[in-house]
């Protein structure tokens, strides 16, 4: 089971102090969050990609490359990489370079993006969203797996005799997750390829997420990658913790109220009932996360959001400290005890390399 | 058994909008040869959930259950009070969170209430275009009831009866609705690949 932090990368005013960090501060804060994630013993750091204010991560591989140099064991990922509006050739190149620099500590999560104008800004049409995700990813896979690619499609210039360089480290493409909130097509895509499926269940009720994951598991089995309970599932979460849950609620409420996502909607209490948001004690986070397994089956990756909405860096780092010291050690033990032996861990570069060597030795 | 869902966006209790909705439902039932399962929904009770769904993008369980019922209905009676020359905001907001595929080819009977008969074209200028956009099949007769219609021989009863007959005929002309959920039956990936 992998545990990690994911961050959107918004620049927002702290409603408690009225202070707004600069873009420079926010970029450095994301690096600090990533380093803290490794320091406290978590496994993954994943960051979003955005091309409009108030978000700063327009160039994820630049930031992740820098983080790679400042960390030793942390797995670097995305949440998400825009498979719709990015050129799949550039994704193949950028992430192959990152993969080499990070010695294989890289995977990606594909997403379509939900900011309408980004499509026309990058010369695309939002109505082609699913079609772009399907075609671009099919090309990306070939670019990482075939040394020379001839290709023609609807959404980019054809390629003749094209080689994406560098080739993936050890000939092993980065593992890919497909992120979705509501699209059955994306669950179907992840299942078809035997890739991971990340249900971004933040903001959404468990009943809906369970059906989407159920579809992915069923189709994963249908396409012959293993049994439904061996499918590779990731989940999101958002937490704000204090020793006493009342303190957590009191501190978090202004952030909740001013949040562009939560503000003006259901109350904090109702949102906590209906979505994965946990504002409370570390034990409440442990209980809620264990409930995910009850709702969605054994899963492989838990990403948790602790920053954004103007939450100051020091507070975000405190949250990661609590996760590392009080929450994740308990969860690791509990999940490991509950997980049946035939349910795999999420693939990593090391595990894929070992599998490749085993199959080469036996063939 | 066919399923009829009746939506009333009336605000007060008792409400003349609900009264009209009930009369339209009764007329539809009376005109239906087969059995008709009628479910009546007061949008007032879902007001907060409807606004929350607009803001968050997902429906609370109580609202979701109603949205599912509407999306599975064989026929719909939809009645709104007239506000500022149009349907009420709550009425429109419900259909905004319903989604634009839920009523495709579904027979709909529209009704509206208002203080005076001067607003009666609200049916043709507001409600009918909304359901046309949703690609519903709106029966020719819509029923508008002004306050004074409830105490006059203005032909309201005859209009209600005619509208109910039209809706019943449209429901009877269709096989029972089968709702396909893409989460149950996804498009196979080879097909998506083209």
CATH of the domain at B69: 3.40.50.360
Please report the number of interchain residue pairs, chain A to chain B, with beta-carbon separation below 8 angstroms: 56
Residue A184 at interface with chain B, using a CB cutoff of 8 Å: yes
Mean pLDDT within B95-100? 94
Residue that is written with structure tokens 């607009």 in the block:
B54
Is any Cβ of chain B less than 8 angstroms from the Cβ of A270? yes
Q: Is A191 exposed, middle or buried (0-12, 13-18, 19+ CB in 10 A)?
A: buried
Q: CA nearest B52 in A: which residue?
A: A265
Give the pLDDT confidence of A237-251 residue by residue, as tens digits.
999 999 999 999 999
Cβ distance of A264 and B192 shorter than 8 Å: no
Give A201 to chain B, closest Cα distance, Å: 11
Residue of A31, A37, A28 whose CA lies nearest to A75: A37
pLDDT of residue A114: 81
Contact A270 B187 (CB under 8 A): no
The residue in chain B having the minimum alpha-carbon distance to the alpha carbon of residue A215 is: B183
Domain count, chain A: 1
Backbone phi, psi, residue B178, to 5°:
-115, 120
| pLDDT at site A202 | 77
Using CB atoms, which residue from B60, B186, B194 is nearest to A188? B186
Low-confidence ranges of chain A (pLDDT < 50): none
Domain that holds residue A55: 2-362
At B13 the pLDDT is 86
Contact criterion met (CB below 8 Å) for A29 and A313:
yes
- Minimum distance, in Å, between the CA of residue A209 and any CA atom of chain B: 11
How far does Cα B53 stand from its chain's mean position?
Answer: 19
Contact call for B187 and A188, based on CB within 8 A: yes
Minimal CA–CA distance to A53: which of A10, A19, A113? A10
User: Quick check: B186 and A205 CB within 8 A?
Assistant: no
Contacts of A99 by beta carbon, 8 Å cutoff, 6+ apart: A106, A168, A169, A174, A349
Instruction: Quote the crossing angle between the two packed helices B89-98 and B61-71, to the nearest 10°.
Output: 80
Give the minimum alpha-carbon distance from A334 to chain B in angstroms, rounded to a whole number: 30
A191 touches chain B (CB under 8 A): yes
CA atoms within 13 A on the CB side of A227: 8
Task: Give CA–CA dist A90/A164, Å, rounded.
Answer: 9
Q: What is the CA radius of gyration of chain A?
A: 20
Task: Pick the residue of B58, B60, B67, B185 with the most A CBs within 10 A to test the interface with A by mutation.
Answer: B58
Q: What residues make up the domain containing B19? A: 2-193
The alpha carbon of residue B67 is apart from the nearest alpha carbon of chain A, in Å, by 14
> Is A213 in the B-facing interface, judged by CB distances under 8 Å?
no
Total residue count of chain A as it appears in this document: 363
Residue B21's pLDDT band, with cuts at 50, 70 and 90, is very high
Nearest to A210 by CA among A193, A226, A228: A228
- Secondary structure (3-state) at A319: helix
- Å between B125 CA and nearest CA of chain A: 29
Distance to chain A for B171, nearest Cα, Å: 31
By the CB < 8 Å criterion, does A265 face chain B? yes
A interface test, pick of B192, B193, B194 with most A CB neighbours within 10 Å: B192
Alpha carbon distance A63, A57 (integer Å): 8
The domain spanning residue A168 has which CATH number?
Answer: 3.20.20.30
- Look at residue A363 in the predicted model and tell me its pLDDT: 74
Chain B residues whose C-beta is within 8 A of a chain A C-beta are 52, 55-58, 60-61, 182-184, 186-189, 192-194
Residue in the structure block whose two tokens are 């035997």 = A194
Contact B55 A219 (CB under 8 A): no
- Residue A207 touches partner B, C-beta closer than 8 Å: yes
Closest partner CB to B58 (pick from A192, A208, A262): A208
- Note the ipTM here: 0.85
Residues in CB range of A191: below 8 A, 6 or more apart: A197, A215, A216, A217, A218, A219, A220, A222, A223, A225, A231, B189
| pLDDT over threshold 90, residue B194 | no
For residue B63, the chain A residues in CB contact (below 8 A) are: none
pLDDT in tens, B104-162: 999 999 999 999 999 999 999 999 999 999 999 999 999 999 999 999 888 999 999 99
How many domains does chain B contain in total?
1
Contact check, Cβ <8 Å, B58/A192: no
Considering only the beta carbons, identify the residue of A189, A203, A212 that sits closest to B189.
A189
pLDDT band at B179 (very low <50, low <70, confident <90, very high): confident
The CA distance from A211 to the nearest CA of chain B, in Å, is: 7
The distance in angstroms from the start CA to the end CA of chain A is 30
Q: How far apart are CA A102 and CA A76, in angstroms?
A: 8
Q: Please tell me if residue A178 touches chain B, with a CB cutoff of 8 Å.
A: no
Query: Which residues from B are below 8 Å from A266, CB to CB?
Result: 52, 56, 60
Flag if B186 and A185 touch (Cβ within 8 Å): yes
B66: pLDDT strictly greater than 90: yes
Looking at residue A136, its pLDDT comes to: 98
Q: Residue B184 has what pLDDT?
A: 83
What is residue A319's predicted lDDT score, i.e. its pLDDT?
98
- The residue with greater pLDDT, A207 or B72, is B72
What DSSP state is assigned to residue A238?
A: B
């Amino acid at each position: 089971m992998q545990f990690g932090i994911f961050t959107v990368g918004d620049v927002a005013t702290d409603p408690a102090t009225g202070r707004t960090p600069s873009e420079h501060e926010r970029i450095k804060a994301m690096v600090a969050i990533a380093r803290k994630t490794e320091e406290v013993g978590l496994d993954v750091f994943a960051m979003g990609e955005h091309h409009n204010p108030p978000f700063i991560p327009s160039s994820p591989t630049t930031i992740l490359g820098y983080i790679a140099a400042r960390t030793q064991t942390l797995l670097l990922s995305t949440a998400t990489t825009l498979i719709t509006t990015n050129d799949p050739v550039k994704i193949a190149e950028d992430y192959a370079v990152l993969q080499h620099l990070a010695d294989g500590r890289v995977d990606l999560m594909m997403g379509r993006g939900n900011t309408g104008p980004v499509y026309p800004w990058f010369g695309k049409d939002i109505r082609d969203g699913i079609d772009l995700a399907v075609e671009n990813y099919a090309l990306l896979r070939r670019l990482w797996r075939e040394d020379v690619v001839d290709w023609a499609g609807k959404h980019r210039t054809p390629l003749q005799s094209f080689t994406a360089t560098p080739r993936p480290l050890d000939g092993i493409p980065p593992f890919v997750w497909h992120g979705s909130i509501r699209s059955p097509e994306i669950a179907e895509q992840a299942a078809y390829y035997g890739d991971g499926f990340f249900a971004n269940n933040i903001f959404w009720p468990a009943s809906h997420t369970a059906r989407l994951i159920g579809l992915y598991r069923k189709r994963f089995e249908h396409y012959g990658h293993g049994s439904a309970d061996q499918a590779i599932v990731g989940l999101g979460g958002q937490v704000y913790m204090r020793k006493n849950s009342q303190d957590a609620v009191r501190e978090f409420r202004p952030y909740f109220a001013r949040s562009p996502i939560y503000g003006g909607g259901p109350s904090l209490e109702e949102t906590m009932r209906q979505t994965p948001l946990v504002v409370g004690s570390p034990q409440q986070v442990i209980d809620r996360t264990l409930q995910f397994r009850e709702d969605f089956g054994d899963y492989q990756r838990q990403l948790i959001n602790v920053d954004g909405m103007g939450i100051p860096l020091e507070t975000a780092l405190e949250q990661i400290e609590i996760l590392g010291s009080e929450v994740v050690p308990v969860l690791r033990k509990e999940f490991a005890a509950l997980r049946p032996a035939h349910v795999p861990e999420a693939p990593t570069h090391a595990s894929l390399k070992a599998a490749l060597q085993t199959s080469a030795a036996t063939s | 058994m066919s399923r009829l869902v009746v939506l009333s966006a009336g605000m007060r209790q008792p409400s003349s909008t609900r009264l009209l909705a009930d009369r339209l439902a009764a007329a539809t039932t009376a005109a239906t040869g087969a059995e008709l399962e009628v479910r009546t929904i007061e949008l007032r009770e879902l007001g907060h959930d409807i606004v929350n769904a607009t803001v968050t993008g997902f429906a609370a369980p109580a609202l979701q259950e109603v949205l599912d019922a509407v999306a599975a209905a064989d026929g719909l009676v939809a009645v709104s009070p007239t506000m500022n020359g149009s349907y009420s905001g709550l009425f429109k907001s419900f259909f905004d969170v319903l989604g634009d595929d839920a009523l495709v080819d579904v027979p709909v009977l529209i009704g509206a209430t208002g203080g005076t008969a001067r607003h009666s074209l609200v049916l043709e200028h507001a409600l009918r275009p909304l359901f046309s956009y949703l690609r519903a099949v709106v029966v020719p007769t819509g029923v508008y009831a002004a306050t004074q219609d409830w105490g006059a021989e203005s032909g309201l009863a005859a209009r209600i009866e005619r509208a109910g007959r039209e809706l019943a005929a449209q429901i009877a002309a269709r096989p029972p609705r089968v709702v396909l959920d893409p989460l149950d039956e996804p498009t196979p990936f080879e097909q998506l690949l083209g």
